[in-house]
């Protein structure tokens, strides 16, 4: 199944603003072995805050600080459980509807939804989105400007006409995505400030598979994910022979990144002219690691460390993709947070196809 995964890196060099997000992912599946028929997860800044699946049929929180939400709203889990139970039936029906639209019978089928918003804490710019997919392809998406639905496939045109005719629901969807959702981003940030707004510096290592392989500068355990990493020669950043990796998730909520340097044409006596630089948003001092053969880890154990951490991060991304779309992607709200997120509106965003 083709799944679109977009990883966004905000560069420190350009003093980029901090973007926070609240997203909900829904996946309904048919005949997928060892996977629940229905799964939901809510995420703040790409960290899961709650979860529900058809095996347990019970909403659960995923972050310690969510106990503060429940303290203000004791019915949070019970109410969400009932909402997700309703969604579970709608999504199951939608798979059957879409199977008929696509002239399908049995086999593995997956219906996915991602909706939510991003909020820029400097410009206050808001971006909302609602996207639906079927069997790994875009099925229908919400156009915020026109308050109508976009159908990239012929089989979605019926759904588009049906949903476009409900103008009141479309307006309510836009209001939620552009007004209510950003307010809840701020509130959740306020609840989870110590976790979501924390700063953690990484452990930086130099790794090399063989003496002729590129040298990898690997940083792991940093937070937030707004970081830059590059090689410098004689104090100047350069890119020749450099291969920069993406920022990846670690299982503990921190991040990792690596950048490779090809030293094939660099004589050993010139190695001292090179250094790896790591910059983390909000931290004034750079972490600088001099290119020194004596500190490069070349043993198989060292290689296993980076391979295992990268695999763990890739597995996490795949799991998140399997339960929804990862697409398109220090101010906080000081007011006391209201106790209930408007899930009634969210229910109306997920009608039958």
Q: How far, in Å, CA of 29 to CA of 202, rounded?
A: 38
Q: How far, in Å, CA of 44 to CA of 337, rounded?
A: 16
- Is 58 domain-assigned? yes
Same domain, 28 and 162: yes
Q: How far, in Å, CA of 43 to CA of 22, rounded?
A: 6
Q: Please, what is the end-to-end C-alpha distance for the chain in angstroms?
A: 21
User: Which residue in 170, 161, 198 sits closest to 45, CA to CA?
Assistant: 198
pTM: 0.70
The first and second tokens of residue 317, run together, are 């991304």
Same domain, 32 and 86: yes
The first and second tokens of residue 33, run together, are 């072995």
Same domain, 215 and 80: no
- Is 303 domain-assigned? no
The first and second tokens of residue 41, run together, are 């997860």
pLDDT digit string (tens) for the chain, length 353 residues: 433 333 333 333 333 457 899 999 999 999 999 999 999 999 998 889 999 999 999 999 999 999 999 999 999 999 999 999 999 999 999 999 999 999 998 899 999 999 999 998 888 999 999 999 999 999 999 999 999 999 999 999 999 999 999 999 999 999 999 999 999 999 999 999 888 888 899 999 999 998 889 999 999 999 888 899 999 999 999 999 999 999 998 888 889 999 999 999 999 999 999 999 999 988 989 999 999 999 999 854 444 444 444 444 434 444 444 444 333 333 333 333 334 455 545 555 677 77
| In contact, 140 and 134? CB cutoff 8 Å | no
Which residues have CB under 8 Å from 318's CB, separation 6+?
none
Same domain, 231 and 171: no
User: Which residue in 171, 174, 130 sits closest to 150, CA to CA?
Assistant: 130
Residue 249 sits in a domain of what CATH number? Answer: 2.60.40.10
For residue 195, the tally of other CB atoms under 10 A from its CB is 16
Q: How far, in Å, CA of 145 to CA of 87, rounded?
A: 27
The first and second tokens of residue 144, run together, are 């915020």
In the prediction, which pLDDT does 125 show?
A: 94
For residue 17, the tally of other CB atoms under 10 A from its CB is 14
In the prediction, which pLDDT does 322 show?
A: 45
The first and second tokens of residue 247, run together, are 């920022």
Q: 293-298: long-range contacts at Cβ-Cβ below 8 A with a sequence spacing of 24 or more?
A: 293/268, 295/206, 296/206, 296/207, 296/208, 296/215, 297/205, 297/206, 297/207, 297/208, 298/207, 298/208, 298/209, 298/210, 298/211
| In contact, 192 and 20? CB cutoff 8 Å | no
- Is 10 domain-assigned? no
Strands (E), 135-282: 137-143, 148-150, 203-207, 215-222, 227-233, 236-237, 242-244, 248-249, 255-261, 274-280
Same domain, 166 and 99: yes
The 8-class DSSP code of residue 270 comes to G
Same domain, 83 and 118: yes
Helix or strand (DSSP H, E) at 175: helix 167-175
Same domain, 287 and 222: yes
Domain that includes residue 243, residue range: 203-298
Residue 158 sits in a domain of what CATH number? Answer: 3.30.500.10
- Is 308 domain-assigned? no
- Is 218 domain-assigned? yes
Same domain, 189 and 207: no
- Is 9 domain-assigned? no
Q: How far, in Å, CA of 139 to CA of 133, rounded?
A: 5
Split into its structural domains, the chain has a count of 2
- Is 8 domain-assigned? no
| In contact, 114 and 325? CB cutoff 8 Å | yes
Same domain, 254 and 184: no
In the prediction, which pLDDT does 298 show?
A: 81
- Is 310 domain-assigned? no
Which residues have CB under 8 Å from 110's CB, separation 6+?
1, 27, 28, 29, 30, 32, 133, 134, 135, 136
For residue 210, the tally of other CB atoms under 10 A from its CB is 8
Same domain, 160 and 233: no
Residue whose structure tokens are 């959740």:
188
Same domain, 88 and 177: yes
Same domain, 331 and 276: no
In the prediction, which pLDDT does 347 show?
A: 55
């Amino acid at each position: 199944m083709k799944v679109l995964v977009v990883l966004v890196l905000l560069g420190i060099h350009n003093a980029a603003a901090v973007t926070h997000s609240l997203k909900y992912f829904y996946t309904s599946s048919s005949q997928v072995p060892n996977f629940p028929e229905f799964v939901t997860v809510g995420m703040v800044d790409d960290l899961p805050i709650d979860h529900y699946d058809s095996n347990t049929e019970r909403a659960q929180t995923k972050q310690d600080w969510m106990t503060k939400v429940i303290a203000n709203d004791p019915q949070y889990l019970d109410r969400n459980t009932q909402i997700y139970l309703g969604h579970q039936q709608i999504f199951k029906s939608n798979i059957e509807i879409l199977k008929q639209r696509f002239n399908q019978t049995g086999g593995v089928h997956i219906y996915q939804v991602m909706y939510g918003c991003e909020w820029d804490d400097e410009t206050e710019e808001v971006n909302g989105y609602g996207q639906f997919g079927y069997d790994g392809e875009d099925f229908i998406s919400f156009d915020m400007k026109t308050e109508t639905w976009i159908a990239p496939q012929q089989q979605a045109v019926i759904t588009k006409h049906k949903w476009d005719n409900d103008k009141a629901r479309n307006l309510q969807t836009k209001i939620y995505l552009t007004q209510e959702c950003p307010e809840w981003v701020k509130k959740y940030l306020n609840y989870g400030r110590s976790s979501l707004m924390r700063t953690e510096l990484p452990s930086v290592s130099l790794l090399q598979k063989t003496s002729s392989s590129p040298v990898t500068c690997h940083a792991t355990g940093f937070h937030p994910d707004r970081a830059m990493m590059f090689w410098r020669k004689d104090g100047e950043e350069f890119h020749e022979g450099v291969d920069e990796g993406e920022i990846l998730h670690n299982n503990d909520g921190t991040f990792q990144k690596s950048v490779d340097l090809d030293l094939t044409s660099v004589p050993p006596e010139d190695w001292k002219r090179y250094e790896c630089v790591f910059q983390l948003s909000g931290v004034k001092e750079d972490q600088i690691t001099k290119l020194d053969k004596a500190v490069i880890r070349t043993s198989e154990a060292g290689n296993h460390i980076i391979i295992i951490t990268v695999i763990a991060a890739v597995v996490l991304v795949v799991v998140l993709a399997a339960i929804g779309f990862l697409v398109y992607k220090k101010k906080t709200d000081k007011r006391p947070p209201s106790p209930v997120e408007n899930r009634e509106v969210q229910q109306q965003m997920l009608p039958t196809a």
